[in-house]
Amino acid sequence: MMPESESPSAQEPAKDQNEEAEQLQEEETDPEFFTDLLNEETEIDSELPNLVSLDLSYNHNLTASCSQLFIGGRWKKIQMLDLSFNKLHGKLPSSLGNITSLTHLDLSYNAVEGGIPSSIIGKLCNLTYFDLGGKKVTGNLPEFLEGIESCPSKSPLPNLKQFFLDNNQLVGKIPYWLGQLENLELQGQLPNPLPMSQMPFLDLSFNLLEGPINIENASYDMLDLSHNHFSGHIPQNLSERCMFLSLSNNHLSRQIPMSIGVMFRVIVIDFSRNNLIGRIPSSLENCSLLNALDLGSNNLSGTIPNSLGELRQLQTLHLSNNQLSGKFPSSLINLSNLQTMDLGNNHLSGDIPSWIGDGFSYLRILILRSNSFTGEIISELSNLTSLQILDLGDNNLSGNIPATLGNNLSGRFPQELTKLYGLEVLNLSRNHIASNIPASISNMHQLSSLDLSSNHLSGSIPPSLSSLSFLGYLNLSYNNLSGAIPYTGHMTTFEAPSYAGNPGLCGLPLPFKCPDDDDDDPNKGAKAHGFVALHSHIPYSSIFLT
Protein backbone atom coordinates (compact mmCIF):
# COMPACT_ATOMS: atom_id res chain seq x y z
CA MET A 1 0.00 0.00 0.00
CA MET A 2 1.39 3.41 -1.01
CA PRO A 3 1.87 5.87 1.86
CA GLU A 4 -0.64 8.68 2.00
CA SER A 5 2.03 11.32 1.52
CA GLU A 6 3.07 9.78 -1.77
CA SER A 7 -0.39 9.24 -3.21
CA PRO A 8 -1.05 10.77 -6.66
CA SER A 9 -4.05 12.66 -5.33
CA ALA A 10 -1.88 14.44 -2.76
CA GLN A 11 0.96 15.21 -5.19
CA GLU A 12 -1.13 16.82 -7.97
CA PRO A 13 -2.38 19.89 -5.99
CA ALA A 14 1.11 20.60 -4.72
CA LYS A 15 2.50 20.32 -8.23
CA ASP A 16 -0.15 22.70 -9.57
CA GLN A 17 0.63 25.25 -6.82
CA ASN A 18 4.35 25.11 -7.55
CA GLU A 19 3.78 25.61 -11.28
CA GLU A 20 1.51 28.61 -10.61
CA ALA A 21 4.09 30.17 -8.28
CA GLU A 22 6.87 29.64 -10.83
CA GLN A 23 4.75 31.13 -13.59
CA LEU A 24 3.90 34.17 -11.45
CA GLN A 25 7.55 34.65 -10.55
CA GLU A 26 8.53 34.49 -14.23
CA GLU A 27 5.91 37.11 -15.10
CA GLU A 28 7.03 39.45 -12.33
CA THR A 29 10.67 39.25 -13.37
CA ASP A 30 9.86 39.68 -17.06
CA PRO A 31 10.60 43.27 -18.22
CA GLU A 32 7.51 43.19 -20.42
CA PHE A 33 5.35 42.65 -17.33
CA PHE A 34 6.49 46.03 -15.90
CA THR A 35 6.37 47.63 -19.32
CA ASP A 36 2.74 46.64 -19.69
CA LEU A 37 2.07 47.88 -16.18
CA LEU A 38 3.66 51.26 -16.93
CA ASN A 39 1.79 51.65 -20.21
CA GLU A 40 -1.69 50.64 -18.96
CA GLU A 41 -2.93 53.98 -17.74
CA THR A 42 -6.42 52.90 -16.72
CA GLU A 43 -5.14 49.93 -14.79
CA ILE A 44 -2.69 51.99 -12.77
CA ASP A 45 -5.13 54.81 -12.24
CA SER A 46 -7.81 52.44 -10.99
CA GLU A 47 -5.54 50.32 -8.81
CA LEU A 48 -3.16 52.99 -7.50
CA PRO A 49 -5.13 56.24 -7.27
CA ASN A 50 -3.41 57.28 -4.03
CA LEU A 51 0.16 56.39 -4.98
CA VAL A 52 2.62 58.85 -3.42
CA SER A 53 5.92 57.02 -3.97
CA LEU A 54 7.12 54.80 -6.83
CA ASP A 55 10.67 53.45 -7.10
CA LEU A 56 11.53 51.18 -10.06
CA SER A 57 15.16 52.26 -10.31
CA TYR A 58 18.08 50.02 -11.29
CA ASN A 59 15.98 47.41 -13.10
CA HIS A 60 17.95 48.19 -16.28
CA ASN A 61 15.55 46.52 -18.72
CA LEU A 62 12.23 48.21 -17.94
CA THR A 63 10.98 50.00 -21.05
CA ALA A 64 8.27 52.59 -21.61
CA SER A 65 7.54 55.54 -23.83
CA CYS A 66 7.77 58.86 -21.98
CA SER A 67 4.84 60.25 -23.96
CA GLN A 68 2.61 57.37 -22.88
CA LEU A 69 3.96 57.09 -19.37
CA PHE A 70 3.18 60.67 -18.40
CA ILE A 71 0.03 61.16 -20.48
CA GLY A 72 -3.15 62.55 -18.98
CA GLY A 73 -3.68 62.90 -15.24
CA ARG A 74 -1.77 59.85 -14.08
CA TRP A 75 -0.36 59.83 -10.54
CA LYS A 76 -1.97 63.02 -9.35
CA LYS A 77 -0.78 62.50 -5.77
CA ILE A 78 2.69 61.11 -6.36
CA GLN A 79 5.56 62.88 -4.60
CA MET A 80 8.55 60.56 -5.15
CA LEU A 81 9.15 59.05 -8.61
CA ASP A 82 12.40 57.19 -9.34
CA LEU A 83 12.68 55.44 -12.71
CA SER A 84 16.44 55.82 -13.06
CA PHE A 85 18.70 53.26 -14.79
CA ASN A 86 16.04 51.74 -17.06
CA LYS A 87 15.11 52.03 -20.72
CA LEU A 88 12.58 54.85 -20.83
CA HIS A 89 12.67 56.34 -24.31
CA GLY A 90 11.33 59.24 -26.31
CA LYS A 91 10.99 62.91 -25.50
CA LEU A 92 9.71 64.34 -22.25
CA PRO A 93 6.11 65.48 -22.76
CA SER A 94 4.87 68.79 -21.40
CA SER A 95 2.22 66.85 -19.43
CA LEU A 96 4.96 65.89 -16.97
CA GLY A 97 4.63 69.41 -15.64
CA ASN A 98 1.08 68.67 -14.50
CA ILE A 99 2.30 66.34 -11.73
CA THR A 100 2.68 69.30 -9.42
CA SER A 101 2.81 67.16 -6.26
CA LEU A 102 6.28 65.88 -7.20
CA THR A 103 9.09 66.59 -4.76
CA HIS A 104 11.61 63.96 -6.01
CA LEU A 105 12.00 63.16 -9.73
CA ASP A 106 14.80 60.91 -11.01
CA LEU A 107 14.80 59.93 -14.69
CA SER A 108 18.57 59.64 -15.00
CA TYR A 109 20.37 57.11 -17.20
CA ASN A 110 17.53 56.12 -19.47
CA ALA A 111 17.17 56.69 -23.20
CA VAL A 112 15.30 59.99 -22.86
CA GLU A 113 16.01 62.13 -25.90
CA GLY A 114 15.66 65.77 -26.92
CA GLY A 115 15.57 68.85 -24.77
CA ILE A 116 13.70 69.88 -21.65
CA PRO A 117 10.42 71.64 -22.46
CA SER A 118 10.05 74.96 -20.67
CA SER A 119 6.54 73.95 -19.60
CA ILE A 120 7.78 71.02 -17.50
CA ILE A 121 9.91 72.19 -14.62
CA GLY A 122 8.42 75.68 -14.35
CA LYS A 123 5.23 74.24 -12.83
CA LEU A 124 6.93 71.84 -10.41
CA CYS A 125 6.94 74.25 -7.49
CA ASN A 126 7.41 71.54 -4.84
CA LEU A 127 10.35 69.82 -6.51
CA THR A 128 13.41 69.48 -4.25
CA TYR A 129 15.37 66.85 -6.24
CA PHE A 130 15.60 66.56 -10.04
CA ASP A 131 18.03 64.21 -11.82
CA LEU A 132 18.11 63.98 -15.61
CA GLY A 133 21.73 62.97 -16.02
CA GLY A 134 22.85 60.43 -18.58
CA LYS A 135 24.08 61.14 -22.15
CA LYS A 136 20.89 61.53 -24.20
CA VAL A 137 19.47 64.97 -23.34
CA THR A 138 20.36 67.44 -26.10
CA GLY A 139 19.73 71.03 -27.16
CA ASN A 140 19.61 74.10 -24.96
CA LEU A 141 18.21 74.54 -21.51
CA PRO A 142 15.00 76.57 -21.90
CA GLU A 143 15.69 80.29 -21.79
CA PHE A 144 12.42 80.95 -19.96
CA LEU A 145 10.27 78.76 -17.73
CA GLU A 146 6.51 78.63 -18.23
CA GLY A 147 4.09 78.30 -15.34
CA ILE A 148 6.15 79.85 -12.56
CA GLU A 149 3.28 82.20 -11.85
CA SER A 150 1.50 79.18 -10.33
CA CYS A 151 4.18 78.96 -7.62
CA PRO A 152 3.36 80.98 -4.48
CA SER A 153 6.78 82.65 -4.59
CA LYS A 154 6.45 83.49 -8.32
CA SER A 155 10.04 82.27 -8.71
CA PRO A 156 11.38 79.24 -10.61
CA LEU A 157 11.68 75.96 -8.71
CA PRO A 158 11.64 77.71 -5.31
CA ASN A 159 12.32 74.52 -3.30
CA LEU A 160 14.89 72.82 -5.55
CA LYS A 161 18.03 71.83 -3.64
CA GLN A 162 19.65 69.22 -5.92
CA PHE A 163 19.68 69.44 -9.73
CA PHE A 164 21.66 66.98 -11.89
CA LEU A 165 22.18 67.29 -15.64
CA ASP A 166 25.55 65.58 -15.85
CA ASN A 167 26.79 63.46 -18.78
CA ASN A 168 24.47 64.95 -21.38
CA GLN A 169 24.90 66.78 -24.68
CA LEU A 170 23.51 70.17 -23.72
CA VAL A 171 24.78 73.22 -25.57
CA GLY A 172 24.21 76.97 -25.53
CA LYS A 173 24.15 79.53 -22.74
CA ILE A 174 23.38 78.98 -19.08
CA PRO A 175 19.89 80.49 -18.62
CA TYR A 176 19.27 83.35 -16.24
CA TRP A 177 16.69 81.41 -14.20
CA LEU A 178 19.35 78.90 -13.15
CA GLY A 179 20.97 81.63 -11.09
CA GLN A 180 17.64 82.35 -9.37
CA LEU A 181 17.39 78.92 -7.72
CA GLU A 182 17.76 80.24 -4.20
CA ASN A 183 17.86 76.91 -2.35
CA LEU A 184 20.08 75.01 -4.78
CA GLU A 185 23.10 73.45 -3.06
CA LEU A 186 26.14 72.89 -5.25
CA GLN A 187 28.59 70.13 -4.36
CA GLY A 188 32.07 69.16 -5.47
CA GLN A 189 35.05 71.27 -6.48
CA LEU A 190 35.41 74.33 -8.65
CA PRO A 191 37.23 74.00 -11.98
CA ASN A 192 40.97 74.28 -11.43
CA PRO A 193 41.77 76.96 -12.39
CA LEU A 194 38.47 78.85 -12.23
CA PRO A 195 38.10 80.99 -15.38
CA MET A 196 36.79 84.39 -14.30
CA SER A 197 37.42 86.39 -17.48
CA GLN A 198 33.81 85.87 -18.63
CA MET A 199 32.27 86.09 -15.15
CA PRO A 200 32.77 89.52 -13.58
CA PHE A 201 30.15 88.67 -10.92
CA LEU A 202 30.16 85.22 -9.30
CA ASP A 203 28.11 84.28 -6.23
CA LEU A 204 28.37 80.62 -5.15
CA SER A 205 27.74 81.26 -1.45
CA PHE A 206 25.84 78.89 0.85
CA ASN A 207 26.71 75.66 -0.95
CA LEU A 208 28.73 72.53 -0.23
CA LEU A 209 31.68 73.30 -2.48
CA GLU A 210 35.11 72.14 -1.33
CA GLY A 211 38.76 71.97 -2.31
CA PRO A 212 41.14 74.81 -3.16
CA ILE A 213 40.31 78.17 -4.77
CA ASN A 214 42.47 78.72 -7.84
CA ILE A 215 41.44 81.69 -9.97
CA GLU A 216 42.59 82.28 -13.52
CA ASN A 217 42.43 85.71 -15.21
CA ALA A 218 41.70 87.69 -12.05
CA SER A 219 39.49 90.43 -13.48
CA TYR A 220 36.28 89.99 -11.51
CA ASP A 221 34.24 92.76 -9.87
CA MET A 222 32.45 90.62 -7.27
CA LEU A 223 33.32 87.21 -5.82
CA ASP A 224 31.30 85.57 -3.06
CA LEU A 225 32.34 82.02 -2.11
CA SER A 226 31.26 82.30 1.54
CA HIS A 227 29.57 79.52 3.54
CA ASN A 228 31.17 76.55 1.77
CA HIS A 229 33.91 74.06 2.63
CA PHE A 230 36.84 75.51 0.69
CA SER A 231 40.30 74.80 2.07
CA GLY A 232 43.85 75.84 1.30
CA HIS A 233 44.96 79.46 1.02
CA ILE A 234 43.48 82.71 -0.23
CA PRO A 235 44.40 83.15 -3.92
CA GLN A 236 47.40 85.36 -4.58
CA ASN A 237 46.12 86.80 -7.85
CA LEU A 238 43.39 89.04 -6.49
CA SER A 239 41.55 91.32 -8.89
CA GLU A 240 42.37 95.02 -9.06
CA ARG A 241 38.79 95.59 -10.20
CA CYS A 242 37.22 93.76 -7.27
CA MET A 243 34.68 95.73 -5.24
CA PHE A 244 33.26 92.88 -3.12
CA LEU A 245 35.19 89.84 -1.85
CA SER A 246 33.76 87.38 0.66
CA LEU A 247 35.41 84.07 1.53
CA SER A 248 33.92 83.80 5.03
CA ASN A 249 32.77 80.61 6.74
CA ASN A 250 35.15 78.21 5.01
CA HIS A 251 38.26 76.27 6.08
CA LEU A 252 40.89 78.54 4.58
CA SER A 253 44.26 78.59 6.33
CA ARG A 254 47.69 80.20 6.03
CA GLN A 255 48.30 83.93 5.89
CA ILE A 256 46.36 86.73 4.23
CA PRO A 257 48.44 87.55 1.11
CA MET A 258 50.11 90.93 0.80
CA SER A 259 48.55 91.12 -2.67
CA ILE A 260 45.30 92.11 -0.98
CA GLY A 261 46.57 95.66 -1.36
CA VAL A 262 46.07 95.62 -5.15
CA MET A 263 42.29 95.83 -4.67
CA PHE A 264 42.21 99.62 -4.60
CA ARG A 265 38.49 99.67 -5.56
CA VAL A 266 37.29 97.17 -2.97
CA ILE A 267 34.44 98.21 -0.67
CA VAL A 268 33.82 94.98 1.30
CA ILE A 269 36.34 92.34 2.46
CA ASP A 270 35.04 89.45 4.58
CA PHE A 271 37.46 86.63 5.53
CA SER A 272 35.77 85.85 8.86
CA ARG A 273 35.30 82.38 10.36
CA ASN A 274 38.25 80.61 8.74
CA ASN A 275 41.55 79.34 10.09
CA LEU A 276 43.77 82.17 8.89
CA ILE A 277 47.04 82.76 10.73
CA GLY A 278 49.80 85.36 10.82
CA ARG A 279 49.59 89.13 10.95
CA ILE A 280 47.11 91.52 9.40
CA PRO A 281 48.91 92.71 6.25
CA SER A 282 49.92 96.36 6.25
CA SER A 283 49.13 96.53 2.52
CA LEU A 284 45.45 96.89 3.48
CA GLU A 285 46.12 100.62 3.70
CA ASN A 286 45.96 100.72 -0.12
CA CYS A 287 42.27 99.73 0.00
CA SER A 288 41.29 103.32 0.68
CA LEU A 289 37.64 102.91 -0.40
CA LEU A 290 36.98 100.07 2.03
CA ASN A 291 33.69 100.38 3.95
CA ALA A 292 33.62 97.01 5.75
CA LEU A 293 36.47 94.79 6.96
CA ASP A 294 35.69 91.54 8.77
CA LEU A 295 38.60 89.33 9.80
CA GLY A 296 36.88 87.98 12.92
CA SER A 297 37.01 84.40 14.21
CA ASN A 298 40.40 83.37 12.83
CA ASN A 299 43.79 82.79 14.44
CA LEU A 300 45.41 86.07 13.47
CA SER A 301 48.19 87.26 15.78
CA GLY A 302 50.49 90.22 16.31
CA THR A 303 49.42 93.82 16.80
CA ILE A 304 46.72 95.75 14.97
CA PRO A 305 48.73 97.57 12.28
CA ASN A 306 48.74 101.36 12.34
CA SER A 307 48.12 101.24 8.59
CA LEU A 308 44.44 100.50 9.28
CA GLY A 309 44.18 104.16 10.21
CA GLU A 310 44.44 104.99 6.50
CA LEU A 311 41.04 103.39 5.81
CA ARG A 312 39.17 106.63 6.38
CA GLN A 313 35.97 105.41 4.67
CA LEU A 314 35.69 102.41 6.98
CA GLN A 315 32.30 102.01 8.68
CA THR A 316 32.53 98.45 10.02
CA LEU A 317 35.58 96.86 11.64
CA HIS A 318 35.42 93.30 13.00
CA LEU A 319 38.64 91.82 14.41
CA SER A 320 37.09 89.81 17.26
CA ASN A 321 37.96 86.25 18.27
CA ASN A 322 41.60 86.25 17.22
CA GLN A 323 44.94 86.26 19.05
CA LEU A 324 45.73 89.94 18.54
CA SER A 325 47.85 91.64 21.20
CA GLY A 326 49.34 95.01 22.02
CA LYS A 327 47.74 98.34 22.82
CA PHE A 328 44.85 100.16 21.25
CA PRO A 329 46.46 101.66 18.09
CA SER A 330 46.33 105.44 18.10
CA SER A 331 45.93 105.53 14.31
CA LEU A 332 42.33 104.31 14.66
CA ILE A 333 41.38 107.84 15.68
CA ASN A 334 41.33 108.62 11.95
CA LEU A 335 38.37 106.24 11.37
CA SER A 336 35.79 108.92 12.08
CA ASN A 337 33.11 107.18 9.97
CA LEU A 338 33.08 104.01 12.05
CA GLN A 339 29.66 102.72 13.08
CA THR A 340 30.78 99.32 14.42
CA MET A 341 34.06 98.48 16.16
CA ASP A 342 34.39 94.92 17.49
CA LEU A 343 37.80 94.04 18.95
CA GLY A 344 36.46 91.59 21.54
CA ASN A 345 38.01 88.27 22.55
CA ASN A 346 41.66 89.07 21.87
CA HIS A 347 44.70 89.79 24.06
CA LEU A 348 44.72 93.58 23.81
CA SER A 349 46.04 95.44 26.83
CA GLY A 350 46.67 98.90 28.24
CA ASP A 351 44.21 101.71 28.85
CA ILE A 352 41.18 102.46 26.73
CA PRO A 353 42.21 105.78 25.17
CA SER A 354 40.21 108.86 26.06
CA TRP A 355 40.09 110.02 22.43
CA ILE A 356 37.72 107.16 21.63
CA GLY A 357 34.94 109.30 23.09
CA ASP A 358 35.70 112.27 20.88
CA GLY A 359 36.37 111.00 17.38
CA PHE A 360 33.48 108.61 16.66
CA SER A 361 30.22 110.53 16.43
CA TYR A 362 28.58 107.77 14.31
CA LEU A 363 29.66 104.82 16.48
CA ARG A 364 26.69 102.60 17.36
CA ILE A 365 28.42 99.39 18.51
CA LEU A 366 31.59 99.24 20.60
CA ILE A 367 32.74 95.80 21.78
CA LEU A 368 36.04 95.51 23.67
CA ARG A 369 35.07 92.61 25.93
CA SER A 370 37.32 89.68 26.92
CA ASN A 371 40.66 91.43 26.57
CA SER A 372 43.15 92.62 29.18
CA PHE A 373 42.36 96.35 29.24
CA THR A 374 43.19 98.11 32.50
CA GLY A 375 42.60 101.52 34.02
CA GLU A 376 39.36 103.35 34.59
CA ILE A 377 36.30 103.61 32.41
CA ILE A 378 36.78 106.87 30.65
CA SER A 379 34.04 109.45 31.16
CA GLU A 380 34.50 110.56 27.53
CA LEU A 381 32.46 107.51 26.50
CA SER A 382 29.40 109.56 27.39
CA ASN A 383 30.11 111.67 24.29
CA LEU A 384 29.21 108.74 22.02
CA THR A 385 25.61 109.84 21.64
CA SER A 386 24.89 107.39 18.80
CA LEU A 387 26.04 104.39 20.87
CA GLN A 388 23.53 101.54 21.14
CA ILE A 389 25.69 98.61 22.28
CA LEU A 390 28.61 98.96 24.69
CA ASP A 391 30.39 95.83 25.92
CA LEU A 392 33.50 96.24 28.06
CA GLY A 393 32.99 93.00 30.00
CA ASP A 394 35.67 90.57 31.16
CA ASN A 395 38.60 93.00 31.36
CA ASN A 396 40.62 94.40 34.27
CA LEU A 397 39.04 97.85 34.39
CA SER A 398 38.72 99.74 37.63
CA GLY A 399 37.60 103.10 38.97
CA ASN A 400 34.19 104.69 38.62
CA ILE A 401 31.45 103.51 36.32
CA PRO A 402 30.12 106.50 34.40
CA ALA A 403 26.40 106.80 34.97
CA THR A 404 25.89 106.36 31.25
CA LEU A 405 27.84 103.09 31.06
CA GLY A 406 27.70 99.57 32.42
CA ASN A 407 30.10 96.65 31.94
CA ASN A 408 32.71 94.44 33.58
CA LEU A 409 34.78 97.20 35.18
CA SER A 410 35.96 98.24 38.59
CA GLY A 411 35.73 101.35 40.70
CA ARG A 412 32.70 103.61 40.75
CA PHE A 413 29.83 103.79 38.29
CA PRO A 414 30.49 107.02 36.31
CA GLN A 415 27.35 109.12 36.26
CA GLU A 416 28.22 110.46 32.81
CA LEU A 417 27.29 107.16 31.19
CA THR A 418 23.63 107.64 31.92
CA LYS A 419 23.64 110.39 29.32
CA LEU A 420 23.80 107.77 26.56
CA TYR A 421 20.07 107.96 26.01
CA GLY A 422 20.11 105.80 22.84
CA LEU A 423 22.04 102.90 24.40
CA GLU A 424 20.22 99.57 24.02
CA VAL A 425 22.72 97.04 25.43
CA LEU A 426 25.03 97.70 28.39
CA ASN A 427 27.35 94.97 29.65
CA LEU A 428 29.84 95.74 32.41
CA SER A 429 29.91 92.23 33.87
CA ARG A 430 32.99 90.48 35.28
CA ASN A 431 34.93 93.56 36.28
CA HIS A 432 35.80 95.14 39.61
CA ILE A 433 33.27 97.95 39.88
CA ALA A 434 32.60 98.75 43.50
CA SER A 435 30.18 101.71 43.63
CA ASN A 436 26.41 102.07 43.81
CA ILE A 437 24.11 101.75 40.82
CA PRO A 438 23.21 105.36 40.01
CA ALA A 439 19.51 106.24 40.04
CA SER A 440 20.09 108.20 36.83
CA ILE A 441 20.46 104.92 34.95
CA SER A 442 16.69 105.16 34.47
CA ASN A 443 17.35 107.96 31.96
CA MET A 444 18.52 105.32 29.47
CA HIS A 445 14.98 104.70 28.24
CA GLN A 446 16.00 102.57 25.22
CA LEU A 447 17.91 100.04 27.31
CA SER A 448 16.85 96.47 26.48
CA SER A 449 19.70 94.55 28.15
CA LEU A 450 21.58 95.45 31.34
CA ASP A 451 24.28 93.19 32.75
CA LEU A 452 26.24 94.37 35.79
CA SER A 453 26.86 90.88 37.19
CA SER A 454 30.03 89.65 38.92
CA ASN A 455 31.29 92.99 40.20
CA HIS A 456 31.50 94.57 43.67
CA LEU A 457 28.47 96.82 43.43
CA SER A 458 26.96 97.78 46.76
CA GLY A 459 24.01 99.67 48.16
CA SER A 460 20.39 99.23 47.15
CA ILE A 461 18.85 98.68 43.75
CA PRO A 462 17.43 102.05 42.62
CA PRO A 463 13.60 101.93 42.37
CA SER A 464 13.86 103.99 39.20
CA LEU A 465 14.90 100.82 37.31
CA SER A 466 11.23 99.84 37.21
CA SER A 467 10.59 102.64 34.70
CA LEU A 468 12.77 100.99 32.00
CA SER A 469 9.84 99.51 30.09
CA PHE A 470 11.98 98.14 27.22
CA LEU A 471 14.29 96.19 29.52
CA GLY A 472 14.07 92.52 28.57
CA TYR A 473 17.22 91.21 30.26
CA LEU A 474 18.54 92.17 33.69
CA ASN A 475 21.45 90.56 35.51
CA LEU A 476 22.62 92.03 38.81
CA SER A 477 23.82 88.73 40.24
CA TYR A 478 26.98 88.19 42.27
CA ASN A 479 27.57 91.63 43.69
CA ASN A 480 27.22 93.09 47.21
CA LEU A 481 23.81 94.70 46.74
CA SER A 482 21.57 94.94 49.78
CA GLY A 483 18.11 95.95 50.90
CA ALA A 484 14.68 95.24 49.47
CA ILE A 485 14.31 94.56 45.77
CA PRO A 486 12.00 97.21 44.23
CA TYR A 487 9.58 94.56 43.03
CA THR A 488 7.12 96.88 41.30
CA GLY A 489 6.21 97.83 37.73
CA HIS A 490 8.45 96.32 35.07
CA MET A 491 10.76 94.81 37.73
CA THR A 492 8.15 92.10 38.40
CA THR A 493 9.07 90.49 35.05
CA PHE A 494 12.50 89.38 36.33
CA GLU A 495 12.97 86.22 38.38
CA ALA A 496 15.27 85.25 41.25
CA PRO A 497 18.39 84.35 39.17
CA SER A 498 18.69 88.02 38.16
CA TYR A 499 19.59 88.81 41.79
CA ALA A 500 21.42 85.62 42.87
CA GLY A 501 24.64 85.88 44.84
CA ASN A 502 23.74 89.11 46.69
CA PRO A 503 23.43 87.96 50.34
CA GLY A 504 22.06 91.33 51.45
CA LEU A 505 19.02 91.42 49.15
CA CYS A 506 15.55 90.48 50.38
CA GLY A 507 11.96 90.44 49.18
CA LEU A 508 10.36 89.05 46.05
CA PRO A 509 11.28 87.33 43.83
CA LEU A 510 13.83 85.95 46.33
CA PRO A 511 12.59 83.56 49.02
CA PHE A 512 13.97 85.81 51.79
CA LYS A 513 11.55 88.16 53.53
CA CYS A 514 12.54 91.60 54.66
CA PRO A 515 12.18 92.41 58.43
CA ASP A 516 8.93 94.36 58.20
CA ASP A 517 7.31 92.03 55.68
CA ASP A 518 3.73 91.25 56.63
CA ASP A 519 2.73 87.60 56.22
CA ASP A 520 -0.43 88.78 54.50
CA ASP A 521 1.41 91.23 52.21
CA PRO A 522 4.21 89.46 50.31
CA ASN A 523 5.02 92.66 48.39
CA LYS A 524 5.53 94.80 51.43
CA GLY A 525 9.22 93.95 51.58
CA ALA A 526 9.76 96.02 48.47
CA LYS A 527 9.32 99.13 50.61
CA ALA A 528 11.99 98.21 53.16
CA HIS A 529 14.94 99.93 51.51
CA GLY A 530 18.31 99.74 53.16
CA PHE A 531 17.82 96.54 55.16
CA VAL A 532 20.71 94.05 55.15
CA ALA A 533 19.46 90.49 55.54
CA LEU A 534 21.71 87.83 57.08
CA HIS A 535 21.05 84.33 55.81
CA SER A 536 22.77 81.23 54.56
CA HIS A 537 23.68 81.01 50.87
CA ILE A 538 21.03 79.08 48.97
CA PRO A 539 21.94 77.74 45.48
CA TYR A 540 19.76 78.64 42.52
CA SER A 541 18.85 76.46 39.58
CA SER A 542 19.84 79.18 37.09
CA ILE A 543 22.93 81.36 37.19
CA PHE A 544 23.59 84.20 34.75
CA LEU A 545 27.25 84.53 33.82
CA THR A 546 28.78 86.43 30.89
CATH topology for the 33-185 domain: 3.80.10
Nearest to 438 by CA among 450, 448, 446: 450
- Of the candidates 289, 290, 295, which has an alpha carbon nearest to the alpha carbon of residue 271? 295
Q: Which residues contact 293 (CB under 8 A, 6 or more apart)?
A: 269, 284, 308, 311, 314, 316, 317, 318
- The phi and psi torsions of 36 (rounded to 5 degrees) equal -65, -40
Residues 141, 157: Cα–Cα separation, whole Å: 14
The amino acid at residue 113 is E
Please report the pLDDT score of residue 403 as a whole number.
Answer: 53
For residue 67, give every residue at least 6 positions away whose Cβ sits within 8 Å of its Cβ, in sequence order, or none: 90, 91, 93
Per-residue pLDDT at 418: 60
- pTM for this model (two decimals): 0.62
Beta strand 111-113 pairing with 138-139: unpaired
Is the Cβ–Cβ distance between 479 and 459 less than 8 Å? no
Model confidence pLDDT, tens digit, residues 13-28:
444 555 554 554 444 4
| Proportion of the chain in helix, strand, coil states, percent, rounded to 5 | 20, 25, 55
* DSSP-derived 3-state class of residue 409: coil
Other beta carbons within 10 angstroms of residue 173's beta carbon come to 9
3 state DSSP class of 264: coil
Q: Reduced to 3 states, what is the DSSP secondary structure of residue 87?
A: strand
Query: For residues 77 and 472, what is the distance between their CA atoms, to the nearest angstrom?
Result: 48
Per-residue confidence (pLDDT) for residue 415, from 0 to 100:
60
Residues 6+ away with beta carbon under 8 Å from 369: 344, 345, 391, 392, 393, 394, 395, 407, 408, 427
Reply yes or no: is the peptide bond before residue 509 cis, omega within 30 of 0.
yes
Give the pLDDT confidence score for residue 407 in this predicted structure. 45
From CA 432, how far away is CA 428, in angstroms rounded?
9
State how far the alpha carbon of 520 is from the alpha carbons of 6, 353, 496, 530, in Å.
Answer: 97, 54, 21, 22
Residues of the chain where predicted confidence (pLDDT) is lower than 70 = 1-47, 72-74, 135, 174, 192-199, 216-218, 399-421, 517-546
Domain boundaries, the chain: 33-185
Q: What is the dihedral of CA 433, 437, 440, 443, to 10 degrees?
A: 80
Helix locations, 54-165, DSSP H = 66-69, 118-121
How are strands ordered across the β-sheet holding 244-246? 201-203, 222-224, 244-246, 268-270, 292-294, 316-318, 340-342, 365-367, 389-391, 425-427, 449-451, 473-475
CA angle centred on 157, ends 156 and 161, rounded to 5°: 135
Q: Alpha helix locations (H) across 30-80?
A: 31-39, 41-47, 66-69
Closest-CA residue to 178 (of 140, 224, 135, 223): 140
Which residue in 332, 372, 374 sits closest to 355, CA to CA? 332
The per-residue pLDDT for 61 is: 87
Query: Could you give the CA distance from residue 272 to residue 24 in angstroms, rounded to a whole number?
Result: 64
φ, ψ for residue 415, nearest 5 deg: -65, -25
